[in-house]
Amino acid sequence: MSEKWISNFRTALKSKCGKNWTVYNSRGIVRLQVGKRPNEETLSTAYKWSEDTWIDALNRITTINQIFTESKGKIDLKTAYAISSSASSILELDWPDALNSYRSFKTNVSEKTWKSKHLPVLHIALTLLNKKKKPKNAEELSNLALSKWTKGTTQRRHMRIALNSFLNYVVQRQDFPSKWLPPVMSDDEAVTTTKRIGYPLSDSQILRLVDSVKNPRWKFALQLMATYGLRPNDLKHLHTRNNGNELWSDYRKSQGGKKGLTTQPRQLFPLFVEDIDGSKNNWNLMKKIHIKEELPTINDKGGAGQAVGRFLRDNKVWQQLKKEAEDERQQLTPYSFRHRYAYVGHNRQKDDGTYRAPKQIADAMGHSLDVHLSSYSRFMTKELAKNFDQETVKVS
């Protein structure tokens, strides 16, 4: 029984060129037959009888058909084949039109998702394809178009999936040459499942940073993130309840691995940033939210985490703290305020001398106990160093 691609090849050829045009395998080479015996014309092409090359062969034969038909019997099949060689070489692929067709085809993709998870890489790809020295095939295009995103990251994975889907579309539905089929994913493209070590800011570091910020809205935002262990997105969802006596976030985050499920709105509980003498900094944050004191404007472009990161990256104290984190082989990010909250929640005793239960801290931070333990179990071992021999570092 014929393989599926052979049936697809012959069906597509019949659709494009008519029922009298067909192909068969001649010693591993695609042989074209036009007409019916005993008056048929045949021609051996330069294409292998292979699933990998049949689309290229189809496109070439389609060009031959156009030339042969337009000549109205003035040239034979072999001459049409020779002319098609130069015609195929100068054929320009209409990538912009293919992109427009692809957008119409992707009816299940919302405009927001299209703009955030498809267009970034597709715009780069079309820009590359419009250059004088353009990529010659899908592998070259993918390497260049995806170079903006770090290998192994989720963002690069999204962009690679979007580009691959488009490339599959243009080959399978727009009859582009098979050289534009997306390349096989290499091992180093796999998204890493190893969590990076989040750096918990200390209270003294937070005070240094807050003191360095002159913009009152951003100072307010950083104080909130540190005191309540907020995700950056929480900043857009804060409100008070019970006549201003409770602070809440109604931000709903997708629960990983559970399609359609989200976290629930949660009441926020403070863990105040302490001065070096142990006195707590009560910045009256809940009252400021209640009277609607303004926070910085954070739009959806790039996400709230990136907005916070953009503000902080030029701050000299933030740059110093980043170096301090790197010296400890950790990474400073906008989530380091939240990591600080988890660390303090596990290690700072309550007023009665006891420690908080892990479930209580997980609830306050708005995630399940399993998620909490996967990220913050390293903060839960109390006084570990005291159970081992001590060493000191002498600085001469």
What is the 3-state secondary structure of 185-202? CCHHHCCCCCCCCECCCC
For 27, counting Cβ atoms within 10 Å of its Cβ (0-12 exposed, 13-18 middle, 19+ buried), the class is exposed
Residue whose token pair is 């993709």: 109
Instruction: Write down the pTM of the prediction.
Output: 0.52
The pLDDT of residue 87? 53
Residues facing residue 248 across a β-bridge: 239, 267
Q: Which residues, 6 or more positions from 198, have their beta carbon under 8 angstroms from its beta carbon?
A: 330, 331, 333, 335, 336, 339, 375
For 301, counting Cβ atoms within 10 Å of its Cβ (0-12 exposed, 13-18 middle, 19+ buried), the class is exposed
Pairing of the two strands 238-241 and 41-48: unpaired
Please tell me the distance from the alpha carbon of residue 396 to that of residue 345, in angstroms, as a whole number: 37
| Eight-state DSSP code of residue 49 | S
Helix (H, G, I), strand (E, B) or coil at 29: strand
Structure token pair of residue 296 = 């910085």
Task: List the beta bridge partners of residue 31.
Answer: 24, 44
Q: What is the pLDDT along the chain (396 residues), one digit of tens a residue?
A: 457 889 989 999 999 899 899 999 998 999 999 988 788 889 888 889 988 889 888 988 998 888 888 887 777 888 888 777 655 544 567 888 889 999 999 888 888 889 888 999 999 999 998 887 889 889 999 999 999 988 878 888 889 999 999 998 988 888 788 788 888 766 555 555 555 667 899 999 999 999 999 999 999 999 999 999 999 999 999 999 999 999 999 988 766 545 556 778 899 999 999 998 889 999 999 999 999 999 998 875 557 888 899 999 999 999 999 999 988 888 899 999 999 999 999 888 888 888 888 899 989 998 888 888 777 777 766 555 565 666 665 554
Cα 62 to chain center, whole Å? 38
Place of tokens 């809440």: 248
- pLDDT at residue number 1: 41
CA distances from 167 to 21, 137, 350 (A): 28, 10, 58
| pLDDT for the residue 189 | 59
DSSP string, 55-102: HHHHHHHHHHHHHHHHTTTSS-HHHHHHHHHHHHHTPPP-HHHHHHHH
For 210, the 3-state DSSP assignment is helix
